[in-house]
Structure formats: structure tokens, C-alpha cells
Structure 1
């Protein structure tokens, strides 16, 4: 009886863990630092655009920033693109309201992390 209970419990936890990988509007995420010098799966502006606008080229202002999923699009190839906005309502780098990101690739690369 105990084995059956623990089997059903672990199966239920596995199913709920798998279901949480799909994004939903209003989910809270955290932007983390990129593995390289720039973000590959979040569409932040390139360094030359930031320099022209007078913003420091490092992405320190967006690291550990809480963001909310505003819009979800599924493309023909099956990839999921999400539109992110800051949770506090301010703008990214002082001029961007929203940015787009490839959801699964950004999570796998560690650029985005689910907020607790």
C-alpha cells in the first residue's frame, strides 16, 4: 500500500512539474546574466544601439530583474516566443517597454529563470 501511495505521489509531482514548463500570461520570471557577453535568446538591443542612446553597454541594469509574461506566440516550427515587460512597470534601458524572448531556449541557457 505504501509503495502504491509513493508511486502515485511521485507520478503526480512529475506531471505537475512537466505542466509548469508551459508559459502562461502573467507568469513571473527573473532575468539572469548571460553566459556570454550578450543575450542570445532575449532580444535586447545590441551594444552600439545602447551606446548611441547613452546607456552603459553592460547589461547589469537588467540582471536579476523581475519580469512578467505579457504575450505568448507559438510559431510554425513549434518554438514559443514570449513578450516580457518589467514587473515594476519601468522600461528596459530607459526606452523599451517590452522585449521578446524564445522561452524554452532562454530557460535552457539560463538567461531566464522561473521566479519563486
Structure 2
């Protein structure tokens, strides 16, 4: 009987933790600095494209900014999110939204979940 109860409790905990890891439209995330030279899991423009468009070759304008999840979709068993800035302005003055691989961006530290 103990084993059945413990198994049931364990399954409930697993289901609840899996449900919390799924992104929802309207969740708030924070953009962190990339580990290397550029972002690997967030689809920001490359630095050379920013220079060609007359902007500074730096990701500093988006670091530590809050973003909202605008939409969520799944492609090839990966969860992707479309992000937009919380204040409504454009990323680098060019793009209103960007795509990100949700799980990999969280694992690499490029995005963090902001607790409400």
C-alpha cells in the first residue's frame, strides 16, 4: 500500500512540474547576456546586420529587458516562442518580435523566467 501511495504522489509531482515548464502566452521572461559572441537560441539579428542598418554592433540594448511571450508553437518536437518587448518598443529599432527555442534558451541562460 505504501508503494502505491508513493508512486501516486510521485506521478502527481511529475505532472505538476511538467505543466509548469510549458510556456504560456503572456508569460514574462528576461533576456540575459549571451555566453559567447552572439545569441544561439534567440533569433536576434547578427551584429554585422545591425551595423549595415546603421545601429551599434552591440547586444547591450536588449540585455536585462523584460519580454512577453506573444505566441507558442511546436516544430519538430521543439517548443518555440515568439517574444515581444514588454514596453512595446522594437528590438534594436528594427524588429517588433523575435523567435526563440524556449527550452534551450532557458538552459543556456539566455532567457530566465520572471516570477510575477
TM-score by length of 1: 0.85
Aligned residues: 109
User: RMSD value over aligned CA atoms?
Assistant: 1.9
Give the match for residue 72 of structure 1. Answer: 72
For residues 48-91 of structure 1, what are the alpha-carbon distances to aligned partners after superposition, in whole Å with 9 as ceiling and x for unaligned?
1100112111100000010000011111x210111000000000
- 1:95: how far off? 1.2
Q: Helix, strand or coil: the match of 2:18?
A: helix
- 1:11: how far off? 8.0
Give the match for residue 81 of structure 1. Answer: 80
Q: Helix, strand or coil: the match of 2:35?
A: coil
User: Which stretches of structure 1, 4 residues or longer, exceed 4 Å deviation after superposition?
Assistant: 10-15
The reply to whether residue 49 of structure 1 matches residue 61 of structure 2 is: no
Alpha-carbon separation, structure 2, partners of 1:32 and 1:17? 24
Q: Runs of 5+ in structure 1 lacking a partner? A: none
Q: Helix, strand or coil: the match of 1:106?
A: helix
TM-score by length of 2: 0.85
Give the match for residue 101 of structure 1. Answer: 100
